[in-house]
Amino acid sequence: MALVPCQVLRAAILLSYCSILCNYKAIDMPAHQTYGGSWKFLTFIDLVIQAVFFGICVLTDLSSLLTKGNDSQEQERQLKKLISLRDWMMAVLAFPVGVFVVTMFWSIYIYDRELVYPKLLDNFIPAWLNHGMHTTVLPFVLIEMRTTHHQYPSRSCGLAAVCTFAVGYILWVCWIHHVTGVWVYPLLEHLSPGIKVVFFAAVTVIINMFYLVGEVLNNYIWDTQK
């Protein structure tokens, strides 16, 4: 795909995420007023990750255009650092976290929506915003993977970073329960302590599997072996 269409596409996706975030934050929900605010929800954290990631993508495109035909080694070095940051965010955060949010949300939603997205939320969050948070993330990140080759870090470093994120969020959820006595997700209220440990371990394994899926898919699309 040509450079200019890719730039326009990334800019449009970035604006879409900014719109979703602004509309979500404008909603007057009781959950936003409690301990942790919006930051206790993985969906919101993922939206911020995606917005920051596509912001870096747009910045990289602009820097690439500005340095095109320029022989400055310093500018070239800075551009390479920006590209490395973009690729790292795609590999470790944007793809695995985004795919995890979409697949886990809709899997649990189909089984029993009250466990993850109670009907009460329909009074606050319109359907289009729900899909903006839990559906379009997947096609957006797949479009980015298809239009740009991303250099993945070494597998050990990548998996370590994903594990750090997963464990960090799990500890954050447990801390919120410790402070408030309420689990962020209704699903956790129905699990015994032992099953919660198994559930958290399974979640960590799944998000690591999505990292590997992203790595394999990226290599398959761009045929890096050749």
Question: pLDDT value at position 1?
Answer: 43
Residues 111 and 212: their CA atoms lie apart, in Å, by 26
Question: pLDDT value at position 224?
Answer: 55
**Structural domain boundaries in the chain:** 6-224
Q: What secondary structure does DSSP assign to 61-120, as a single string?
A: HHHHHHHTT---HHHHHHHHHHHHHHHHHIIIIIHHHHHHHHHHHHHHHHHHGGGTS-GG
Question: pLDDT value at position 42?
Answer: 95
Is 85 in contact with 149 (CB distance < 8 Å)?
A: no
User: Mind listing the pLDDT tens digit for each residue in 44-56?
Assistant: 999 999 999 999 9
Question: pLDDT value at position 69?
Answer: 66
Residues 149 and 224: their CA atoms lie apart, in Å, by 9
Residues 101 and 135: their CA atoms lie apart, in Å, by 9
Residues 155 and 159: their CA atoms lie apart, in Å, by 6
- Both tokens assigned to 74: 């310093």
User: Mind listing the pLDDT tens digit for each residue in 59-102?
Assistant: 999 888 877 767 677 778 888 999 999 999 999 999 999 999 99
pTM over 0.85: yes
- The mean of the pLDDT values for the chain is 90
Contacts (Cβ under 8 Å, ≥6 apart) of 62: 7
All residue ranges of the chain with pLDDT < 70 are 1-4, 69, 71, 224-226
Is 12 in contact with 143 (CB distance < 8 Å)?
A: no
Question: pLDDT value at position 68?
Answer: 75
